[in-house]
Structure 1
Amino acid sequence: MAQYGGFGGFGGFGGFGGFGGFGGGTNFTGLGGFLGRQDPGGYDAATTLGLQSVAEGLRHLTEAGASPTDQELPFSNPANLSGLATWVRGSLYVSEFLAGVSAQPHDATESEAAKVGLSFDGKSCLILHRPDQSLLREQCSYVADYATLRAERTAEITSQLGFPTAYFAMILGLHSAQNAKTFELITATQVAAAHAAMIVKSHLAVRRPDQIDARLMPMIPTPGHGSFPSAHATESYAVLTVLEALLKDWNCLSDGDERIDVMRALAERIAVNRTVAGVHYPIDSWAGATLGRIVGTIVLNRCGLIKDITAMDYAPASHDFFDEDFRDPTIATARGLAPTGETHHLPSTPTFKWLWEHASDEAQKV
C-alpha cells in the first residue's frame, strides 16, 4: 500500500466516475476514499462576503426566535445515517469494525516461531506465524522471477497503489450514479481490511524483499510498514468475499457465477502484482488472502448476514501463491494453511446493517 495518514489533512483524492473519493488517489488507511467525501469545506472569498451582506440585508424579514422545525431527529437511530456526510459514515464503519479487534502476540519459543493471533469480540479468528530469514531468502527467488512481468503490468501496478475499486466495478458493471451504496460498502470493506492488516503487520515486523536481497529493486516505493501479510491481498480478498455475497443477494445477473470467477482471478492478480512490483513475497499473499477472507466474512456478519467465520492458522512454507491452491483445502493445508477447528458468528452493528440494506436495494439498478 502507499502512504498512510490517519484521519486528517489530506487532499488530492481521485474521484470514481464522478463520484469523488471512491477508489482513486492514494490509499490512506484511516478513512481511505471516505476522507473528506461530502465535506462542504468553505466558499470562495467573494461568495462568503456575498452571503454575509445578503444575510444582513434580509434578516429583518425573519421572525425573531422562530425555529425552522420543532421536530427532533430520532435518538440513536440508523435512520439518521442517510443524512450524514459520507466521510462521517466512513468514520462510523471504522469505529464499529475496530471496536471488537484485538491482537495477541506470542514470542518465539524453542519449538515454535513467533506468532500473532487476531480476535474479534474475543473470538480467535486467525493465527499467523512469523516467517524466518531463511524462508524469506527462499521466497526472494520467486520475487526475482516475477520481475519479468513488470513491463506488461506497469499500468495495473501503479493504478493499484490505492484501492483498486475501478477493477471490481468494471467486472460488475457498477455505475456511481446507480450504485453509490455498493461503492460505499466496497470502501468500508477495504478500509476495515487495511486496518486489520496493519495491526498484525506491526507485530510480525517482516522485512521487505529488497531489504533481504539487493538484486530485488522494486519498481515502486517500498512501503513504510512490514511485508507480511500483504494488505493489498487482504483488501482484495475481503472485497471479493463481500461482493460475492452481494451478487448472490442481488440474484439478478444471469452470468453472476462467471463474474464471481472473474473477481476471484482479479483478487489473485492484484495480490500477485505486488510481488511483480518487488514489494511482497508470495507468502505475504497467502497470509493476506486468508486475513481478507476472514475480514470479508466478519463484515458480512456485521451487516446482519449469518456467515461462518472459519478460524485459520497459517505457518508459512516456501510456495508460490495461486488462488486455485488457496481455495483447495487439501493443497492449502499442505502449504501451511489450515482451519483451527473453531467457527464463529458475530452480531450485526447498526451502521454496517444499514449499509448492506441500501446496497442490497441497488439490485434493481444493475
Structure 2
Amino acid sequence: MPFNAKGSPENSFNSFNSFNSFNSFNSFGTSGNTVAAEALLTTRDGIVGAPLDLNPHITPGSPHDPRNLARLSADVRASLYLSELGSRVAFSDAIDETAIATLWRRDTRPAGRSPQPDSLLVQITTPTIDQFKEQMAYLTAYADLRSDRAAEILSQTSAITPFLASISFMDPARTPFTLELMSAALGFTNYCGMRLKYSISAKRPIEFSPQVQPIIPTPTHGSLPSGHATEAFVTARLLWKLLRASNSEQYREDGVWGEMFMRLASRIATNRTVAGVHFPVDSAAGAVLGLTLADYLHAVCDPEANELTSACFNGPAFNAAEDFDWHALYMAREDRQTKKAGKKRRPWATSERHPTTPDMASPVLTWLWKKAQAEWQDFSV
C-alpha cells in the first residue's frame, strides 16, 4: 500500500472523499479549533449549574461483542480488523539456492484447547539473478507504452479502488461497508507483502541498468512480489467473492464480472512493468499471493466459506522468457486457483485446497462481511 509523507498508509479511497455526507460537521470540534473549544467551554459554564445525581442505570459494557462495532468510527474498526488478521499469521524465511519466504496461518481453537500448529498459506521462492536479467527485455519493450498509460500509472500509484469501482457500482453512499472491507484487505495485504518483500529483498529493475529510467519514483522496498499486483488481485478476487455471496442473480449466472476484475488486476500489475519499477515475474508472484490471500480473507470473514487455498511460487522454475499471464493461475468462472502453472514436472506455481474449521471465521470480520454482502443484494418487485 502506498505511503504518504508522514509514513502512514494512504487512504485508497481518497478520490471518494468528496462524497462524505458528514463533511458539514468537520469544521466543529476538530483538533486545533480554538473557537469551537472556547464555545464549548462557555456553553458548559452557562448551563451546568448545581451537580445532578449520576445515572443509576449505567451498566458495564458488553466485552468482545460485535454489536459494539456499529458505534465505532471507521478508523477504529480498521485497527481492529488489522489486529484480527495480523494475529492470525506468522512469517519465516530461509536461503537455499535463492531466498525463500513463507507466510503461515495460525488457526485458533476454542478456549481451553491447545493451539493448532501453523499451516502453510503462501511460500515464495525467489528467481535467480539470471532470470531477472532475462526479464529486462520486457522492461525495454513495455517502455514504449509509457506515453499511452502514464495517466493510469500515476493514478494507480496511490489508489486502485476507483478502477474497481468503474466495473462494480461502489460508492461511499451506496456501499460504505464494501469499501471498508476493501480497505481492511489492503491493510492486511500490505502487512503481509512488506514482510515477505523484506525476507526476499529482490532488486529493482533500476539496479540492473541505467537505461530503465522509471517514470515514477522507485519504491525502496524489494521488487518481488509486486505489491500492486498483490493488492489488485486480492481486492479483485475478494470483491468477486462478495458479489457471488450476495446471491444476486446477475453475479451468479456466469463469470463475466470475475473475468473483468481479473483483466483489470492484470493491467494494474503490468502497468508497474510499463512504469519501469517491476519485472513480469514480480507480478506473477504478486498474483499468487493476492489470489491466495483473497481466499483466506473470505474464510476468516464468512462462516459459510468451506475451504481455502495454500499456494507456492517457485521462482527458479518460472520461464523468464515468458510474460505474466493471470490465466495460468486462476479460473474466474469457477473462482478457483489452478493446481499447477508451468511445466508439469517442475511447475512455477502450485495450489491446494483445504477445508475450513468452524471457528476460523472472526466475529469482528464476519460482522463486516455481512454488512458488505447486504449492499449487493438486489431489490426485486
Verify same fold: TM over 0.5.
yes
SS in 2 for 1:161: helix
CA contact (8 A) 1:230 1:280 kept: yes
Residue type at the aligned position of 2:308 = I
- CA distance in 1 between counterparts of 2:273 and 2:12 reads 27
- CA distance in 1 between counterparts of 2:86 and 2:2 reads 21
1:313 and 2:320 matched: no
Cross-structure match for 1:337: 348
SS in 2 for 1:106: strand
- CA distance in 2 between counterparts of 1:294 and 1:6 reads 31
Report the CA distance between 1:191 and its aligned residue: 1.1
- 2:41 corresponds, among 36, 52, 70, to 52
1:116 and 2:108 matched: no
- 2:330 corresponds, among 318, 327, 349, to 327
Q: Deviations over 1:62-94 (max 9, x none)?
A: 652433962443221000001111111101111
**344 and 214 in structure 1: CA distance in 2 versus 1, 3 angstrom threshold:** farther
**120 and 11 in structure 1: CA distance in 2 versus 1, 3 angstrom threshold:** closer
**63 and 90 in structure 1: CA distance in 2 versus 1, 3 angstrom threshold:** same
TM-score by length of 1: 0.86
CA contact (8 A) 1:179 1:365 kept: no
Q: State the number of aligned residues.
A: 345
1:206 and 2:202 matched: yes
Residue type at the aligned position of 2:273 = T
TM-score by length of 2: 0.83
**85 and 342 in structure 1: CA distance in 2 versus 1, 3 angstrom threshold:** same
RMSD of aligned Cα (Å): 2.8
SS in 2 for 1:172: coil
The 5 A counterparts of 1:100-249 are 100-108=88-96, 112-121=97-106, 122-249=118-245
Structure 1: unaligned runs, 5 residues or longer: 21-36
CA contact (8 A) 2:341 2:349 kept: yes
**305 and 197 in structure 1: CA distance in 2 versus 1, 3 angstrom threshold:** farther
Report the CA distance between 1:194 and its aligned residue: 1.3
Residue type at the aligned position of 2:16 = F
1:285 and 2:313 matched: no
Q: Deviations over 1:282-305 (max 9, x none)?
A: 011110010001111111111124
Q: Deviations over 1:154-212 (max 9, x none)?
A: 11111111231111112111221111001101111111111111111000000100111
**135 and 331 in structure 1: CA distance in 2 versus 1, 3 angstrom threshold:** same
Report the CA distance between 1:125 and its aligned residue: 1.6
SS in 2 for 1:190: helix
- 1:252 corresponds, among 238, 248, 254, to 248
- CA distance in 1 between counterparts of 2:35 and 2:242 reads 46
**233 and 153 in structure 1: CA distance in 2 versus 1, 3 angstrom threshold:** same
Structure 2: unaligned runs, 5 residues or longer: 21-25, 107-117, 332-337
CA contact (8 A) 1:104 1:116 kept: yes
Report the CA distance between 1:275 and its aligned residue: 0.7
